Amino acid sequence: MAAAGRSQAMHFHARAGEKVRNAVLQRALQKAKPLFVGKRAKGIASLAEDGLDFEMLRSTGKNIRNRNLADLDVWLDIFEERATATGAEVLWARDGAEVSRLVVDIARRHGVSKVVKSKSMLSEEAQLNEALAAAGIRPVETDLGEYIVQLAGETPSHIIAPAVHKTIAEVEALFAKEHGRPPETRTSADIPAMAQEARAVLREHFLSAEMGISGANFLIAETGSAALVTNEGNGRMVTTLPKVHVVITGIEKIVPTLEDFATLMRLLPRSATGQAISNYVSLLTGTKRAGDHDGPEKTVFILVDNGRANLLGSDYQDMLRCIRCGACMNHCPVYFSLGGHAYGWVYPGPMGSVLTPLFTGIENALDLPHASTGCNQCGAVCPVAIPLPTLMHRLREEQNERGLRPLSERLALKAWAWLAGKPVLYRWFARRAARYLNWLADGSGRIRIFGLAPEWTAGRDLPVSSGRTFHELYSARKKP
Amino acid sequence: MRLALYVTCLVDLMRPSVGFAALRLLEATGGEVVVPEGQTCCGQPAWSAGNRRQALDLAKKAIAELEGYDHVVIPSGSCADQIRNVYPQLLADDPHWAPRARALAGRSHELTSFLVDVAKTELVASEFAGSVTYHDSCKGLRGLGIKRQPRELLAKVRGLSLEEMADCEECCGFGGAFSVKFGAVSTQIVDRKCDAIAAVGADAVVGGDLGCLINIEGRLRRRGDETTRVLHIAEVLAGGDDC
């Protein structure tokens, strides 16, 4: 799979260790987590004001998305027909490389030298910025978080808060350097001023770019429109100022009607940022019409597969319901111990642990489906009820079926399962094990260094009991 | 009423006192309590690792051993979730085993939910001088919906005051094999749990799953906290000292 090229997902374990030790990153994450969780909780609670219940609403959302996927080809055909009728062009891309090829081609045909971008995770899948730069076209990210990440030469670490891994001090140092001014001491009270500074820089780009690229939160089949959900207003600039607008999005983002879109919009902003509705919701249809003050002269939709169609009808189809709200990672204890970069590819957190192996190859992301405690905090908050732990579990099974687990793990499990099937032998072994643990504890009640589980005792003691098993003590008690 | 106590492999090996405490609590309900002889492990480690074959074999073994009782009681939300939620799903396509798995699932209960929802007997009054905070373990909470049962039981313990910690529903980072595969991440997660425990300042942290408790106790001690007790809810409810 071509997408595996840049993936670092095979190095999850090593990268995770590094992230845990990064004190600056840990500070940034520990600050962000309660904000995300608290805001969503408030947003979900506010559903009651509209007489709505989260469980009921998300079951409706799930059903809408399931219906979209059941007849995906039909809705895509309708979308293409309606969008074309509004004057837009609809192109199809099999993978990320094809996306880049198409975008560069469009840019060249329109003499584009600078592109302003609104947030698009699919453009990350396609490594589009690299492809544009290689073709001599300058891509400028205009979402504030994406702008920071681009200045730093990094990739987004969160699907809706791309720079969540950065502290204010880091951003200030970056801005001072890149904007050519002396650094200052900044606190959270200075965030509006810093945003204003970025806005001034970005304004010049908005006015000079010949092309805008955005993603789409949804594609609406009945109107041939792209729906864009944003908070900063940069999306409006990107999609209306430049003469060419290219929308890049996955084929699974389609919903049949505006009514469906409205229902999903009750779930998306609340799950993402806790807002009842985002600051901007744009429905982008066709091109600039006679009498319009603004809008692109040329609109192109690039609808991308990049591994999605393979999931239809598979054990993983539920994953295609995802509406990219980020709630799963915001509630994931693993994500908030590491940040997104540890996951090694475009999508982090629980949804990434499912999508990365599916899009880049199961054999190229062996750790990710295991990088979960199975706590199901993600599944409990998912606005379209994707059973994320179940999907990770299915990937674990597939690793076993394909012989991809390490030999040591397979042998240990095999020996243990064999023993657990033989109660008499198991009892004997458990008694020996209890004695051994007790001997290691040396009367202290705890083991401080345990060669058989070094990863446990690196950060924790292992409390042990008296050296007798329950069954041993129970048998002794029964005998008079 | 014939009750089977499924002690779990972890309690057997790491903390027998939990098994004896559960035994006393069940005996106090007036039922006849049996500890089925051949029990070893419910197979969750194999299931979690993604080895369906091994998980199936151990599920069938457990079903055969446990299906002859009115109720099976397990002092662990995690193992109870395996029997109640995973077994029926694992054996769904097997015409011989599917009905047996479903029947056992319906009769199997995590300890606190059995005491509150099934036995409904008044707790034999126990005593605990001090404050406790309760950690909701993930499988019990999100898999079985256990939340009010342990709190109702703790409220009946004389001298005990419950002080809820922040984020008591947040995972402790144990996750079975996760804790040894990704030790650094697991430690990072349990450290946040320990912060919450320290902040509430209770005399003891109490939970219903030994895996979580070993993880929490291990980290508390490594951090230098030698005083906060870490107890299984069975130990608190049964009172007295075991083994």
pLDDT tens-place string over residues B9-39 = 999 999 999 999 999 999 999 999 999 999 9
φ/ψ of residue A461, rounded to 5: -80, 165
Taking residues B62-76, report their average pLDDT: 98
Confidence of residue A179 (pLDDT cuts 50, 70, 90): very high
A59 in reach of chain B (CB within 8 A)? no
φ/ψ of residue A316, rounded to 5: -110, 10
Sign of CA dihedral A333, B85, A64, A394: positive
The per-residue b/e assignment along B187-214, b for 16 or more CB within 10 angstroms, e otherwise, is: bbbbbbbbebbeebebbbbbbbbbbbbb
Confidence of residue A125 (pLDDT cuts 50, 70, 90): very high
Q: A161 in a domain, yes or no?
A: yes
Which of A414, A430, A458 lies nearest to residue B13, judging by beta carbons?
Answer: A430
Q: What residue spans define the domains of chain B?
A: 2-118, 126-238
Instruction: Among A310, A338, A359, identify where a domain stops.
Output: A310
**How far is B110 from chain A, CA to nearest CA, in Å?**
17
Taking residues A319-335, report their average pLDDT: 98
A178 in reach of chain B (CB within 8 A)? no
Instruction: Among A261, A292, A310, identify where a domain stops.
Output: A310
pLDDT (0 to 100) of residue B192: 97
A430 in reach of chain B (CB within 8 A)? yes
Look at A459 and B222 and tell me if their CB atoms are within 8 Å. Answer: yes
Q: C-alpha dihedral over A480, B34, B215, A19, to 10 degrees?
A: 140
Which of B12, B52, B179 lies nearest to residue A456, judging by beta carbons?
Answer: B179
Distance between alpha carbon A358 and the CA centroid of its chain, in Å? Answer: 14
Rg (CA), chain B: 17
Distance between alpha carbon B56 and the CA centroid of its chain, in Å? Answer: 22
CATH classification for the domain delimited by B2-118, as one of 3.90.660, 3.40.50, 3.30.70, 3.30.60: 3.40.50
Taking residues A395-401, report their average pLDDT: 98
Look at B51 and A459 and tell me if their CB atoms are within 8 Å. Answer: no
Share above pLDDT 90 across residues of chain B, in percent, rounded to a whole number: 95
Q: Residue A247 sits in a domain of what CATH number?
A: 3.40.50.10420
Confidence of residue A5 (pLDDT cuts 50, 70, 90): low
Is the Cβ–Cβ distance between B100 and B33 less than 8 Å? no
Is the Cβ–Cβ distance between B205 and B163 less than 8 Å? no
Q: Which residue is it, tokens 């425990």?
A: B197
Q: pLDDT per residue over A72-87, tens digit each?
A: 999 999 999 999 999 9
Query: What does the alpha-carbon distance between residue B82 and residue B87 come to, in Å, rounded to a whole number?
Result: 6
Q: pLDDT per residue over A203-222, tens digit each?
A: 999 999 999 999 999 999 99
Domains B2-118 and B126-238 fall in the same CATH topology: yes
What does the angle CA A267 – CA A268 – CA A274 come to, to the nearest 5 degrees?
85
What would the DSSP string read from start to end of B102-128? HHHHHHEEEHHHIIIIII-PPPPP-EE
Confidence of residue B243 (pLDDT cuts 50, 70, 90): very low
Q: A461 in a domain, yes or no?
A: yes
Q: Is A303 in the same domain as A416?
A: no
Taking residues B167-173, report their average pLDDT: 97
Chain B residue numbers with beta carbons less than 8 Å from the beta carbon of A471 are 7, 12, 35
Which of B43, B175, B243 lies nearest to residue A373, judging by beta carbons?
Answer: B175
Kindly state the tokens that stand for A430. Answer: 């458990």
Taking residues A360-366, report their average pLDDT: 97
Kindly state the tokens that stand for A148. Answer: 């920071």
**How far is A25 from chain B, CA to nearest CA, in Å?**
13
Which of B13, B173, B183 lies nearest to residue A455, judging by beta carbons?
Answer: B183
Chain B residue numbers with beta carbons less than 8 Å from the beta carbon of A469 are 12-13, 16
Q: Which of residues 381-410 of A touch B (CB under 8 A)?
A: 393, 395-400, 405, 409
Chain B residue numbers with beta carbons less than 8 Å from the beta carbon of A377 are 138, 142, 170-171
Is the Cβ–Cβ distance between B208 and B201 less than 8 Å? no
Look at A446 and B218 and tell me if their CB atoms are within 8 Å. Answer: yes
Residue A298's H or E segment, with its range, is strand A298-304
Average pLDDT for chain A = 96
Q: Which of residues 87-146 of B touch A (CB under 8 A)?
A: 138-139, 142-143
A431 in reach of chain B (CB within 8 A)? no
pLDDT (0 to 100) of residue A3: 54
Is the Cβ–Cβ distance between B234 and B21 less than 8 Å? yes
Taking residues A121-147, report their average pLDDT: 97
Rg (CA), chain A: 26
Region for residue B115 given its phi and psi (left: phi exceeds 0; alpha: psi -120 to 50; beta: otherwise): alpha
pLDDT (0 to 100) of residue A205: 97
Give the residue among A146, A184, A153 at the shortest CA–CA distance from A168: A184
What's the pTM? 0.96
B14, B214, B232, best to mutate vs chain A, most A CBs in 10 Å: B14
Chain A residue numbers with beta carbons less than 8 Å from the beta carbon of B21 are none
Please state which architecture CATH assigns to domain B126-238: 3-Layer(aba) Sandwich (3.40)
The total domain count for chain A is: 2
Share above pLDDT 90 across residues of chain A, in percent, rounded to a whole number: 95
Q: A164 in a domain, yes or no?
A: yes
Taking residues A98-105, report their average pLDDT: 98
Query: What does the alpha-carbon distance between residue A349 and residue A351 come to, in Å, rounded to a whole number?
Result: 6
Whether the per-residue pLDDT at A60 is higher than 70: the answer is yes
Whether the per-residue pLDDT at B138 is higher than 80: the answer is yes
pLDDT (0 to 100) of residue B174: 98
Domain holding A263, by residue range, is 71-310
Q: Which of residues 12-71 of B touch A (CB under 8 A)?
A: 12-17, 19-20, 35, 37-41, 43, 45-52, 54, 57-58, 61
Q: A459 in a domain, yes or no?
A: yes
Is the Cβ–Cβ distance between A344 and A12 less than 8 Å? yes
pLDDT (0 to 100) of residue A466: 84
Half-sphere exposure of A326 (CA within 13 A, CB side): 25
Amino acid at A234: N
- SS3 (DSSP) at A313: coil
Whether the per-residue pLDDT at B124 is higher than 70: the answer is no
Kindly state the tokens that stand for A179. Answer: 């904007």
Taking residues A29-52, report their average pLDDT: 95
Residue A249's H or E segment, with its range, is strand A244-250
- SS3 (DSSP) at B33: strand
Look at B16 and A469 and tell me if their CB atoms are within 8 Å. Answer: yes
A480 in reach of chain B (CB within 8 A)? no
**How far is B237 from chain A, CA to nearest CA, in Å?**
19
Which of B51, B176, B221 lies nearest to residue A446, judging by beta carbons?
Answer: B221
What does the angle CA B231 – CA A444 – CA B175 come to, to the nearest 5 degrees?
45
Chain B residue numbers with beta carbons less than 8 Å from the beta carbon of A38 are none
Q: A397 in a domain, yes or no?
A: no
Query: What does the alpha-carbon distance between residue B135 and residue B193 come to, in Å, rounded to a whole number?
Result: 9
Whether the per-residue pLDDT at A4 is higher than 70: the answer is no
Is the Cβ–Cβ distance between A329 and A351 less than 8 Å? yes
Taking residues A323-342, report their average pLDDT: 98
Share above pLDDT 70 across residues of chain A, in percent, rounded to a whole number: 99
Q: A257 in a domain, yes or no?
A: yes
pLDDT (0 to 100) of residue A428: 97
Whether the per-residue pLDDT at A109 is higher than 70: the answer is yes
Q: Is A190 in the same domain as A299?
A: yes
pLDDT (0 to 100) of residue A478: 79
Amino acid at B79: C
Instruction: Among A252, A283, A310, identify where a domain stops.
Output: A310
Look at A455 and B37 and tell me if their CB atoms are within 8 Å. Answer: no
Query: What does the alpha-carbon distance between residue B63 and residue B38 come to, in Å, rounded to a whole number?
Result: 11
B241 in reach of chain A (CB within 8 A)? no
Query: What does the alpha-carbon distance between residue A245 and residue A124 come to, in Å, rounded to a whole number?
Result: 18
Q: pLDDT per residue over A246-294, tens digit each?
A: 999 999 999 999 999 999 999 999 999 999 999 999 999 999 998 988 8
User: What ipTM score was computed for the predicted complex, to two decimals?
Assistant: 0.96
Confidence of residue B126 (pLDDT cuts 50, 70, 90): confident
Look at A373 and B181 and tell me if their CB atoms are within 8 Å. Answer: no
Look at B171 and A464 and tell me if their CB atoms are within 8 Å. Answer: no
Q: A392 in a domain, yes or no?
A: no
Residue of B nearest to A17 (CA): B184
